[in-house]
Amino acid sequence: MAIGLGSAALYNEAATSAGACAEIAAGAGYERLSQTGPASSSRPYTLAQYSSGDEPNRDYPASYTAPETNEWYRMVVEADLDARTYDVSMIPLGTASVLPDFVPIESPIFTATDLPFAANVANIGSFYLYGYGYGASVSEANAHYIKSRVCFDNIRVYHNSDLVYENDFTTRTRTLISATRETGYPAALQYNLDDGQDHWVRRDYTGSSGFDARAWVRDNNGNKFLALGRSGEEGRTITIVNSLGLSQAKPFRFEADIRPPSQWSAASGSATISLGDSQMLQTEAPESVYGAHRLVTFGFSGTNTSNQIQCPYYFAGCKAQVGGTEIDAEIDTTHWYRFRLEVNPNGGTYSATIRDMGTAHPTASTKGGTVVGTVSNVAFANSLAAGEGVSTILIEGDGLAGAYGSLGVDPAHILIDNLRLSVPSPFVLSVR
């Protein structure tokens, strides 16, 4: 297990990739002494200068005190950006977890100073926690289940003497030293965690199909948007979810602008936006559970038209769809389309108008567009539960294509922008 500091770019990198290793400046941890020795025998290590590969290089001290299993240690990594060096220490805390302000009374079991940065990073903008090879017992009925886990607590990050991040897993506090973000950052990256821009959460998927898919926030000459695409060849499927911030049981309007992709990586490719109740927000639930709370769905789907120009092969063509029904309209994949929905939760129905907004990237205030499709009185996919309203938005991309990690506007990405929910203002009509 280990902790460490890296650049701001580290946050966007896969946790085991060579790209991540090249963004780690400082780190320390401890590992099993050998594959053949007892599992309880561990040694500390620091990060040496990185050269290549999917694993960081490690340095081992000539002498140390071995850490005890199932005990807590305070691990400290202190980086000096000017000198480009770092110090580490591991201090015993005992067998029980402690509060953040606990002051250790034991001496460190290991210290190292003036270590050169492991990578030539431009800044320090993220930290990481690392665990590998831990046990498999997860039953809380087993009193010893916690001993099969790598456990972390009381994370604190300081800039000079200022506390800029604190997390004791009851409360998380983050202070933004700078509000600027790099171009091309994830709307949501880690599975099932509220770590995304504006609280977007990414649903879990197994295998490379989901791991290599991405939902990025991109910038088109100052007009930011969401792009669904791939960071690796296998990436095809991603789902992100967010709360609308209200539970709407009365009629409302919902709008979204979507620019469909020029190609799909699967014949069944689709890009959809769905609205549902609070149960659809439960990210750990399987699709059979949260899908049963899906009410409204619209977007684009592939047409199974094969395009052999690229290798191995891709599928071109696109159809707009509302409620799973294709709309009879010619879709130009270089154009943006505005979906405007009038949703009636009381009646369990919705209507939709689709406008072709042209090739220019629209803003929320852009008006006009040519109507290319309408549909009325589409029934909710499922019944709205008693006491529930529409409260969750779900964005899904399947059969993704696109250049790996490209910035800006990629023709093969799915682009989404200008999500808006509006509720009619109440009024009083007095007749005398």
Q: Mean pLDDT for each 10-residue chunk of the chain (432 residues)? A: 90 66 91 67 87 83 84 94 94 90 91 93 90 66 64 92 89 67 64 71 76 84 89 84 91 97 88 94 81 94 66 74 93 96 96 97 95 96 92 94 75 95 72 61
Per-residue pLDDT tens over the stretch 88-141: 999 999 988 898 889 999 999 999 999 999 999 989 989 999 888 776 655 555
Please tell me the distance from the alpha carbon of residue 41 to that of residue 291, in angstroms, as a whole number.
47
Q: 174 and 162 in contact (C-beta within 8 Å)?
A: no
Q: Are 128 and 24 in contact (CB under 8 A)?
A: yes
In degrees and rounded to multiples of 5, residue 12 shows phi and psi of -95, -5
pLDDT of residue 15: 46
CB-CB neighbours of 173 under 10 Å: 11
Distance CA 2, CA 141 (A): 28
Token pair for 338: 């505005």
> For position 173, what pLDDT does the model report?
86
Residue 311's pLDDT is 42
- List the domains of the chain with CATH numbers: 2-174 (no CATH), 185-422 (2.60.120)
Q: Which residue type, as a one-letter code, is found at position 155?
A: I
Q: Are 185 and 217 contacting, i.e. CB atoms less than 8 angstroms apart?
A: yes
Strand partners, 226: 217, 416
pLDDT score for 196: 65
> What is the structure's pLDDT at 13?
64
Does an H or E element contain 431, and which? none
Does the pTM exceed 0.85?
no
Peptide bond into 312 cis (omega under 30): yes
Task: For Cα atoms 421, 424, 426, give the angle at the middle one, nearest 5 degrees.
Answer: 145
Taking the C-alpha atoms of residue 378 and residue 272, their distance in angstroms, rounded to an integer, is 16
- Match 């959809």 to its residue by tokens: 272
Query: What's the confidence (pLDDT) of residue 39?
Result: 56
